[in-house]
Structure 1
Amino acid sequence: MSLRIVVAGATGWTGGAVAKAVADANDLALVGAVARRSAGQELHGLTLVASVKEALAVPADVLIDYTHPTAVKDHALAALAAGVHVVVGTSGLTAEDYREIDVAARGAGRGVVAAGNFSLTATLLTRFAQQAAEWIGDVEVIDYASAKKADVPSGTARELAEKLDAVRSHPSTTRPVAEILGPKEARGAAIGSVQVHSVRAPGFILSCEALFSLAGERLAIRHDAGESAEPYVSGTLLAARRVGGLIGLHRGLDAVLNG
């Protein structure tokens, strides 16, 4: 039996590519597609609906969400309440949002995989940067995105900073932000113990860079996304196929890579 998938954000840049891939896959079935502004139109043989609640009226196994930071938590909670597993590709959620989703997922006995970036190369950026952070205490993250991206930092940068904070074993030698002169905002925002700087400007799609430094040397590990959503599709579908074997919230594509 095919895995029944609902895609929220099914006409968006990434969500549209994911919806098509689901519709084309032999082991997946697109049973619901959500796009508020296009509700009533046809997509891959389905009628688009305006809300996740409407889409979940049809039996489903997994909700894939590529919508908006202000909507994704409610979508995830609604799906979990309906007994549906969730894959979250939308960024902008806070630590408290993730905590609420984790509690709801465990209560429902369902799994959630949430990643700021489902591409393999972005996942490797995080993996390699974590290795470096075990040896080098001075690290900062720079997050680049288009001028119209609403949330800061990106999900990729937030997850990266959280994981670097968790593994770094050497203290930073940088002067504490509280002791600097001038606008403290110029030093970026702290995610745990890691400073993160968000650049929003035309000409960028999505890029994320971890900068490590020692006396007399520097190491930069960077991921640059191209103009296609294709890098995110295979990782998203992998998560959808494997989330049913999980309970609770799991962050990042690493959660299912070795499953």
Structure 2
Amino acid sequence: MPIKVCIAGATGWAGSALSKGVANHPGFELVGAIARKKAGDNLAEVLDLGPGNIPIFADIDTALEQLQFDVLVEYTKPDSAMKNVLAALKKGINTVIGTSGLTEQDYKKIEEAATTANTSVLAVGNFALTVVLLQKFSEMAAKYIPNYELIDYAHESKIDSPSGTARELAHRLSNVQESTLFVSEADLVGIKESRGARLEGVQVHSVRLPGHVISIEAIFGLKDEKLTLRHDSGASAEPYVQGALLAIEKVGTFKGLQRGLDSVMDF
């Protein structure tokens, strides 16, 4: 039996590429979508997916009333993501989160809901393989070098700061060890905000400018030596598709909340 999938944000930049990937996957069936501006339309026609009817709903409640599906892929915005995820979990539907900008408090609520409903959530800040490798390499480096900071780059219209990629990396590195803060905020002179933000014990800086899509940089420093690990994405959403397809396939193999694509990969 194919895994029945509904995608929230199916007509967006990343969501549309994933919709095509799911529609072409032999083990999946794309049965519905959530996209407020295209509600009432046929996703198969909107994205030229071929024959068939894939209804687009305005909201998660309507989709849950009229559809039966196994996995919700959440690819919208932070303000609507929590409602979508919690509603799906309450109905016993496993969920893959690709939405950027959810906080640690959000994830605590999601984990509680998943545990209560005995369902599964796989939250991935970035589905690209190169990001997965950067996360793993950064965790290795943080074991030996406590002096590090993160720089998060994105296009000028990205509304969440830091990005989901940066939040996830900060979370993971803080579990290894927090980054050294050589001068405390109280002792700083000048404009304190220029030093970035302290996120789970990790110093993070966000840059928002034209010319960037999504990039993340982890910089580690020791006396007279420096290590820089960096991921840069291009203009296409294609790098995120294969990782998201893997997440859909694997989200039902555990219970509760897992974070990071590597948690379901064999390293």
TM range (shorter): over 0.9
Say yes or no: does 1:87 pair with 2:96.
yes
- The partner residue of 2:118 within 96, 109, 118 is 109
Aligned length: 258
Shift of 1:173: 5.9
Aligned residues: percent identity? 48
CA drift of 1:151 comes to: 0.2
Q: Matched residue of 2:107: which SS? A: helix
Pairwise CA RMSD of aligned residues? Answer: 1.3
Q: Could you list the per-position Cα deviations for residues 47-103 of structure 1 after superposition, in whole angstroms to 9, with x for gaps in the alignment?
A: 211112222221110000110011101100000011100000001111111000000
2:83 is equivalent to residue 74 of structure 1: yes
- 2:19 corresponding residue in structure 1: 19
* 1:157 correspondence with 2:166: yes
Letter of the 1:135 partner, please give it. Y
What runs of 5+ residues in structure 1 fail to find an aligned partner? none
Residue 71 of structure 1 aligns to a residue whose secondary structure is helix
Matched, 1:248 2:256: yes
1:18-167 to 2 correspondence within 5 Å?
A: 18-44=18-44, 45-57=53-65, 58-167=67-176
> Is the 1:32–1:56 Cα contact (8 Å) retained in structure 2?
no
Aligned match for 2:233, one of 225, 229, 232: 225
TM-score (norm 2): 0.94
Q: Give the secondary-structure state (helix, strand or coil) at the position aligned to 1:92.
A: coil
* 1-structure distance, mates of 2:23, 2:8: 14
Structure 2 residue aligned with 1:216: 224
C-alpha separation in 1, matches of 2:63 and 2:24: 19
**160-169 vs 231-240, which deviates more?**
160-169
Cα deviation code 1:121-179 (max 9, x no counterpart): 1011010001000011110000000000000000111111111111128x626212221
4+ runs deviating over 2 angstroms: none
CA distance in 1, matches of 2:19, 2:101: 21
Question: Which TM-score applies when normalising by structure 1?
Answer: 0.97
Shift of 1:35: 0.7
Residue 168 of structure 1 corresponds to 177
| One-letter amino acid matched to 2:61 | K
AA aligned to 1:89 is G
Post-superposition CA distance 1:192-229 (Å, at most 9, x none): 22100000011100000000011111110000011111
